[in-house]
Structure 1
């Protein structure tokens, strides 16, 4: 994104965009308010006019990442014809996330990276947990059309572990290969249901 594009939008949008880039690249704790406001091209007071605290900005970032992933998933699932294809659309959304153009390279799941920086019981960690539960519930919903409730629940948990492990490795390696492999494993598992 060039500086003209970064300057577009409301101060809130620019702050959230800047925070999103910086939090993902450098971490939330390491990224200071001054760095965010400079990147956004706004005065420091603009941050506090739009967010009551850095914590509120971090929560807005986590929510934006959740909505971003849901958008990737919805774009994929609309082309899925069968329940198995809908399950695989979840994997495809993770692949799309990994293959997005990141300014400083792909570093894995932005939400898990954020959660790793936050203390247990913090609102941000809870928001990340809710996102992961949402992904798993999407899997359960599609799997119910293929098998019993118990098998759907167990399989969704298994696929969630597969996704998260693959995402962790993909983040370490900076590319989507592990996620593509996880998708192939998931396809094989679905074929056995």
Structure 2
């Protein structure tokens, strides 16, 4: 008999499914505990509040994206290819199997629902800054650091805009187009 998945993991799995499909605000604790197959007390034994569950969900999404990026980066031959690995990780994310279709960046979707000052928004901001820093660090091997920071911000804007459109259209084509735009930006640098 296979060991049972710990309650914390089942709660995070359920939160990931429901928060992404239905939104943070629309998803109640009862829905999450029912989908996870745990008692409400299990939730509060693992998370102090729904806000803590949301923050843990966002941290987990960050880690999932880093995993997609690491897989892409592994095959990258140099700094240009490492920048494109970031873009390809976004494409991989959009092409993931989602029960209700791709709805855009789960981190930004959640942040849009959270009030200013909510700890979950800080998690999202750290993720976006981390991604931009990854790009800037690789670009700094190709161009001077100030130009690398500016171009990294530009690439981040292209990726975020493409992700929003891909989510609206439930189609990764916008991110595939963003990859071509980033290639053009790299060629011009």
The TM-score with structure 1 as length reference comes to 0.95
Deviations 1:76-121 (A, max 9, x none): 0010002111000000000000000001111000000000000111
Match of 1:187 among 161, 183, 188: 183
Q: Aligned equivalents of 2:57 and 2:75: distance in 1?
A: 28
Is 1:73 aligned to residue 69 of structure 2? yes
Counterpart among 55, 64, 67 of residue 59 in structure 1? 55
Which position in structure 2 is the counterpart of 1:25? 21
Cα offset for 1:171? 0.3
- Cα distance, 1:8 vs structure 2: 4.3
Alpha-carbon contact 1:106-1:174 (below 8 Å) kept:
yes
> How much is the aligned-residue C-alpha RMSD, in angstroms?
1.2
Residue by residue over 1:28-58, the C-alpha shift from the partner in whole angstroms, topping out at 9 and shown as x without a partner, is: 1110000000000011111011111100000
Which residue of structure 2 aligns with residue 135 of structure 1? 131
Structure 1 regions of 5+ residues with no counterpart?
none
Say whether 1:89 aligns with 2:88.
no
- Determine if contact 1:94/1:179 at 8 Å carries over to the other structure: yes
Q: Structure 1: which 4+ aligned runs deviate by more than 6 Å?
A: none
For residues 14 and 4 of structure 2, what CA distance do their matches in structure 1 show?
Answer: 12
Q: What is the alpha-carbon distance in structure 2 between the residues aligned to residue 50 and residue 189 of structure 1?
A: 45
Q: Give the corresponding residue for 1:124.
A: 120
Number of corresponding residues: 188
Tell me the TM-score normalized by structure 2. 0.97
Residues of 2 paired with 1:157 and 1:8: CA distance?
A: 44
> Contact 1:8/1:14 (CA < 8 Å) preserved in 2?
no
1:165 aligns with 2:187: no
1:107 pairs with 2:103: yes
| 1:175 aligned residue | 171
Deviations 1:135-186, CA, capped at 9 Å, x for gaps: 0000001000100011100000000000000000000000110000000010
